[in-house]
Amino acid sequence: MKLKRIVIDGFKSFGKIVSINISDRITAIVGPNGSGKSNIVDAIRWVFGEHSYKNLRSVRKNDILFSGSNGMPASNKAYVKLTFEDNDREISVSREMLRDGKNVYKLNDDTVRLKDLMDFFAGTGAGKEFYSIIAQGQIDKIVNASPEELRRLIEEAAGIFVYKTKKKETLQKLETTMTNLQRVEDVLKELERERKSLYLKAKRAEKYKEYSNELSKIQVRYFSDAINRTRRKLLDLDETMTEQKENLRRLLKELAQLEQKWMGLKQEFGEVDKEIEDFTKTLEKYKERQNSLLEIKESFSKRLNDFENQYIENTMRINAIKDNIENLKNRRSELKLILENLEQKIRELSTNMEELIKQKEELYSKYSEDEKEAMKLQSEIEESNKRLMKLDNEKSRIEDSLEDFRNRLELVENQIGMKSIRLSELQRELQNLYELGKAGNEKEKKLTEHLNSLENEILKLRNHAKEIEAEKRKILEKKMMIESKIKAVESEINNYSGFSMAVKELFKAKKEGKFSKVIDVVANIIDVEKEHSKAIESLLGGRLQNVVVEDSDTAKEVINFLKIKKVGRITFLPLDLLETSKIQTNFKVKNHQGFVGYAKDLVKIPDDYSILPDYLFGNSIVVKTLDDAIEIRKEYGFKGRIATLDGELLERGGALTGGYNQNIEKFSIISRRNMLKQLKEELSQINQKSEDVKFKWEKNELELNDLKDKKARVEKSLNKLLLKNESLKRTMMEINTSVKDLEKELNNLRRLERDYKGRIEGYSSRLENIKTESKEYLRRVAELNERFSTYSDSIRARKSLIEDLESKISEMKFQYESFKERYDNYNSEYMETDKKINDMEVEAEELKNITKKLEEEIQQLKLKVNEIELELKSIKKDTNDLFEAIRLQREGKEKKIREIQELENKIERLKQQREELRENLHNLELMKQETQLKYQSLYDNVSNAGISFKDLDENLILDESEREHLENEMNELMKKMKFLGNVDIDAIEEYRKIEERYNELSSQKEDLLKAKKSLEEVIKKTEEEAEKVFLETFNMVNSSFSEMIAELFEGAKGEMRLLPERDILDTGIEISIKKVGKKEQSLYLLSGGEKSLVGIALLFSLLKINPSPFYILDEVDAALDDYNAERLSRLIKKYSNKTQFVVVTHNKLVMENADILHGITMTNGVSTIVPVELEKITENKPMEVTT
């Protein structure tokens, strides 16, 4: 990248637009003092984003705008444009500032940000810093630079900006990640508190729902049975009522017939005397009265029945309302307590928030006042420091000049003698270096061959490591598979998988500490070899699930437990009851070739249970095949059970069992322990194999690390050798150049002697005045700094308090909103509950009034019915008396009387039966109404229980014991639900949401932790890479700097050192110079010219390592004598093939090497570009500028 052109318009003294073409090598800018030469340097620095008024040699922002002159108005904008050429394409960079302070940056005429420009030139060395632009009076800045500023120069040369930018971006991401992580952790803590609070509520609600679901299932059966029974009862009542009505109809018909017969008999006695007629009339009157009373009684009974039915309905409704009111009142009380608690919390939170906000506002007010005062003090400190820096710079220049002028003459005389000696030394050194270079090339060849050999061996070991890793993965997969199988088998054994529900329930209780004398199932007590397991399992069959207990009492206790639990039946083997008979060994059978052994001898069992094998197997035997079993039965007449190794079974009676059972073939109960033992053996073998592979891997790693160490040592040696050889070559080339240069320098030194005697006297007086003024400013700055420090501490403390308060306020707002939402929900429920209670109380009161009136009506009707019954009894008595009188008077007509009497009696009986039937019908009607009410109540209960009528079984009728069992279970569940107390069903959903949110945030936290770790690794890697590049660059620059110092200071030693005990990327750099024959001295003691030479040495050392596209040098030769100025000129010319130089100078020696020379003059306050007569410069005549 080459700088081709500079365009300036309205910037400082350039009132008119000017264009300055730049050479590919050296461009010189000349002109008298004050003409505006340095304004060109400021313009270039300004384009690259310089904002410091000090560095731009201005006081205010608008000082960079052309302020106007005679005949030319002030400019409203400052504009500077740089044009570069890069690979045959032009790149333009410009900056424009309007009078209102608005800045516009452009890259290739596209508006961009300053950061985009900085990124574009990052790592190139081009920019506003010392590395590429050296302003007037700043070349000796290197001497006064802090160790950190020197480090930044090396970083720029090394291109560390890319790493720092990457690290900065990563740190920002890390900070964002940490902030998010902290926020997530804070939310997780809050959620954890809510989660714990909701957990018990949710569990209670889940338990409540579980009981409710169980209750619903039981209620479906219970209500199905109750409704079906009630429906059946209604049908039975309807049938009975129909039958009774039919009986009543027949009785009324018979009664009508008898009364008709009675009327016929009455007519037969028409001629009875008057007394009998009177009696008869009287009897008729009684009869009419009796019939009338009976009709009235029937009417009253019907009304009484209606009133009683209504009374029962109202009473049941009132009771139901009372229950509902009681439940609602309980809920209202709970809601009231909850609301009061929430109100208290809301009030407390509101009060606390107001207090915190008030505290925050007070703190913020004090913070703002302190901040204003601190800014004011800082401004005063900056102004004082500026003045101090000016005084210090002036003092340094004067002191440097005095020291410089005293030492130069002595230096020139010494140098003439030294350079002669130096010339001889360089020639000898050149010969020595040639010999060293030859030996170094031979050593480099051997090290390269050794390095290639080591790399081949490392490659072999890495391939071997991959093979071992593949073997490790296979072993690990197999190990995981076996461990999974072991867990599955152990789980089945421990959980009694494959056993009956009763067995599982029993051993579940045993784990809880019950039934200590229960030993285990038979399958778990016996131990069988794998080859015998099928035979033994066939012989035992269901006995595998028999449970062995110590005594019969334990067996009885467990049986009672199973009855209560209703989970099934178990066969128990009490050790105190088991009996066996002695078994005679059949030697013929035993000697049969297919005979394996008696089953009891093929199982292993603890000595405490030695009776079990005889009891379980008796004389059962195991043979190899089914043919062996049949042959033994037929040939020897063996009567015991025979099992084969494949699991076929020949029973005592001759029955054969065999075939294929998929489940047994896969995994039988009795073979679990064998399989577990086998799996553990396989696991042990796998673990041993894993250890072997691990040993192989570690051995391979040791060999690999050993080879890597050897390779690193060889590489280190080779790199050192390469650097050394390269350094030797460069040194030889430079020595050749130096020999030629020394011969020229000896001729030039004598011309300088006359120039150093007349410049000392004028500086001493000014130096004393500067010292006095500096002391006063130092005292003022110290005082201002102390006051500023006090305000800074106060500001930091108050800012920390404000941030804490804001955090607390935010947390309280969250809690306040949460409580407020819950309060509104509970308050709505409270108002609704209160309204329901009021409505029900009104309804209950209305029903009570109606019921009270019904009670009064019922009592009155009962009194009237009793009165009628009394009157009927009286009529009956009178009728009997009349009959007795008639009988006495009609003794001759006893038969007729008896007939009439019989008819009367029969009619009376029939009427009595009629009344009984009507009473029965009335009672049946009441029963029907009561059953209907019960039926309706059952339907209401079903509806209230939330049961769908579709779920009811229309055909289910339970027996009494089962119905009673369901009632007990219902009562038990309702007790459990009542025991749970008030349950918030919404807590389940709330807990589920909280749990989901908690899990989601936990997942986010894990992701953030991974991101944090990843970012930290990126930062670490970036720092390591940056450190490596920095150290490599530092070492190269240091080496080059030492050579430059030796050249510029005639054999002096220069060194750059990293400050100890600090991080490499943050450590500072210090420079030390040791002149020939002198001790190492501070840079501050060097003369102005020597300081300039140190700065020039560092500049060109950086240039050799990583040259910037261009260098702007503003009067860097001002403090140099002609001899050193000529050397600077040669350096510029030497390195102009690597980069561009734009040099602002008054020195003719420097001008001579320029490819392009621009003259700057000022007319009427406006800087312009003028042609320069190069001939006069080359003729060593005074420079003239033509306009």
Contacts of 151 (CB under 8 A, 6+ apart): 1067, 1068, 1069
According to DSSP H, which parts of 495-520 are helical? 501-511
- Which tokens sit at 288? 């009419």
pLDDT at position 764, please? 65
Pair 935, 316: CB distance under 8 Å? no
Query: Looking at per-residue confidence, does 29 or 1175 come out higher?
Result: 29
Is residue 619's pLDDT more than 80? yes
Contacts of 612 (CB under 8 A, 6+ apart): 522, 525, 526, 548, 573, 578, 605
Read off the pLDDT of each residue in 420-426 and give the average, rounded to a whole number. 70
591 secondary structure, DSSP code: T
pLDDT at position 143, please? 65
Report how far residue 1118's alpha carbon sits from residue 1116's, in angstroms, rounded to the nearest whole number.
Answer: 6
Read off the pLDDT of each residue in 218-231 and give the average, rounded to a whole number. 81
The burial class, CB within 10 Å (0-12 / 13-18 / 19+), for 1079 is exposed
Please state, for a pLDDT cut of 90, what percent of the chain lies above it. Answer: 3
Report how far residue 1165's alpha carbon sits from residue 70's, in angstroms, rounded to the nearest whole number.
Answer: 8
pLDDT at position 758, please? 59
What average pLDDT does the structure give for the chain? Answer: 79
Is residue 754's pLDDT more than 70? no
Is residue 1187's pLDDT more than 60? no
The burial class, CB within 10 Å (0-12 / 13-18 / 19+), for 297 is buried
The sign of the dihedral angle between the CA atoms of 978, 980, 982, 987 is negative
Q: Which residue has the tokens 């109606």?
A: 850
Q: What is the pLDDT of residues 1062-1103, one digit of tens each?
A: 677 777 888 888 877 777 766 666 777 788 888 888 888 888
Which residues partner with 527 through β-bridges? 604
Report how far residue 602's alpha carbon sits from residue 585's, in angstroms, rounded to the nearest whole number.
Answer: 15
Q: What is the pLDDT of residues 141-190, one digit of tens each?
A: 666 777 777 877 777 777 776 777 777 888 888 888 888 888 878 787 77
Report how far residue 718's alpha carbon sits from residue 623's, in angstroms, rounded to the nearest whole number.
Answer: 81
Which residues partner with 30 through β-bridges? 1159
- CATH, range 517-668: 3.30.70.1620
What are the sequence ranges of the domains in the chain? 1-132+1110-1187, 517-668
Report how far residue 558's alpha carbon sits from residue 553's, in angstroms, rounded to the nearest whole number.
Answer: 9
**Total residue count of the chain as it appears in this document:** 1187
Read off the pLDDT of each residue in 957-964 and give the average, rounded to a whole number. 82
Q: What is the pLDDT of residues 284-316, one digit of tens each?
A: 776 777 777 777 777 777 777 777 777 777 777
DSSP letters along 5-65, please? EEEEESBTTB-S-EEEE--SSEEEEE--TTSSHHHHHHHHHHHTT---TTTTT-SSGGGGB
Contacts of 493 (CB under 8 A, 6+ apart): 524, 672, 673, 676
Pair 869, 297: CB distance under 8 Å? yes
φ and ψ at residue 549, rounded to 5 degrees: -125, 160
Read off the pLDDT of each residue in 515-530 and give the average, rounded to a whole number. 85
Which residues partner with 95 through β-bridges? 80, 105
Q: What is the pLDDT of residues 572-611, one digit of tens each?
A: 999 888 887 777 777 778 888 889 898 888 888 888 888 8
Contacts of 1179 (CB under 8 A, 6+ apart): none
Averaging pLDDT over each range in 192-196, 205-209, 742-746, 1157-1161, which range is the top one?
A: 1157-1161
Averaging pLDDT over each range in 25-34, 212-221, 392-401, 1062-1071, which range is the top one?
A: 25-34
φ and ψ at residue 1138, rounded to 5 degrees: -100, -30
φ and ψ at residue 758, rounded to 5 degrees: -100, 15
74 secondary structure, DSSP code: P
Is residue 561's pLDDT more than 50? yes
Report how far residue 1014's alpha carbon sits from residue 941's, in angstroms, rounded to the nearest whole number.
Answer: 64
Q: Is the pTM of this model over 0.75?
A: no
CB atoms within 10 A of CB 1015: 20
Report how far residue 1051's alpha carbon sits from residue 1044's, in angstroms, rounded to the nearest whole number.
Answer: 10
HSE-CB at 1132 with a 13 A cutoff on CA atoms is: 31
Contacts of 56 (CB under 8 A, 6+ apart): 42, 45, 46, 50, 63, 64
The burial class, CB within 10 Å (0-12 / 13-18 / 19+), for 226 is buried
- 968-977, 1074-1083, 1161-1170: which has the minimum mean pLDDT? 1074-1083
Residue 428, amino acid = R
Is residue 347's pLDDT more than 90? no
Pair 221, 962: CB distance under 8 Å? no
Instruction: Tell me the pLDDT band of 1183, cut-offs 50, 70 and 90.
Output: very low
Q: Which helix (H) or strand (E) holds 271?
A: none
1156 φ/ψ sector (left φ>0, alpha ψ -120 to 50, else beta): beta
Report how far residue 1112's alpha carbon sits from residue 1096's, in angstroms, rounded to the nearest whole number.
Answer: 13
C-alpha closest to that of 571 among 642, 624, 522: 522
Q: What is the pLDDT of residues 1137-1161, one digit of tens each?
A: 888 999 998 888 788 888 888 989 8
Instruction: Tell me the pLDDT band of 1031, cut-offs 50, 70 and 90.
Output: confident
**Using alpha carbons only, how large is the chain's radius of gyration in Å?**
60
Please state, for a pLDDT cut of 70, what percent of the chain lies above it. Answer: 87
pLDDT at position 348, please? 84
Report how far residue 840's alpha carbon sits from residue 269's, in angstroms, rounded to the nearest whole number.
Answer: 70
Instruction: Tell me the pLDDT band of 1177, cut-offs 50, 70 and 90.
Output: very low
pLDDT at position 889, please? 60
Contacts of 565 (CB under 8 A, 6+ apart): 505
Read off the pLDDT of each residue in 644-671 and give the average, rounded to a whole number. 73
Is residue 622's pLDDT more than 90? yes
C-alpha closest to that of 1171 among 1186, 1183, 1181: 1186
Instruction: Tell me the pLDDT band of 80, cut-offs 50, 70 and 90.
Output: very high
Q: Which fold has domain 1-132+1110-1187?
A: Rossmann fold (3.40.50)
Report how far residue 887's alpha carbon sits from residue 275's, in angstroms, rounded to the nearest whole number.
Answer: 12
Read off the pLDDT of each residue in 394-406 and give the average, rounded to a whole number. 67
Report how far residue 1001's alpha carbon sits from residue 981's, in angstroms, rounded to the nearest whole number.
Answer: 33
C-alpha closest to that of 225 among 942, 946, 973: 942
Q: What is the pLDDT of residues 19-55, one digit of tens each?
A: 999 988 999 999 888 888 888 988 988 888 887 777 7
pLDDT at position 668, please? 63
Pair 117, 106: CB distance under 8 Å? no
The CA-atom distances, in angstroms, between 1053 and each of 146, 408, 427, 1049, 1080 are 21, 19, 20, 8, 9
Read off the pLDDT of each residue in 696-719 and give the average, rounded to a whole number. 81
| Residue 659: alpha-carbon gap to chain centroid | 58
C-alpha closest to that of 47 among 107, 123, 137: 107
- Which tokens sit at 377? 């003090």
C-alpha closest to that of 1151 among 1107, 1120, 1115, 1121: 1115
Q: What is the pLDDT of residues 871-906, one digit of tens each?
A: 777 777 777 777 776 666 655 556 666 777 777 788
Pair 45, 1110: CB distance under 8 Å? no
pLDDT at position 28, please? 92
Report how far residue 260's alpha carbon sits from residue 357's, in angstroms, rounded to the nearest whole number.
Answer: 108
Read off the pLDDT of each residue in 241-262 and give the average, rounded to a whole number. 82
C-alpha closest to that of 258 among 1180, 914, 1137: 914
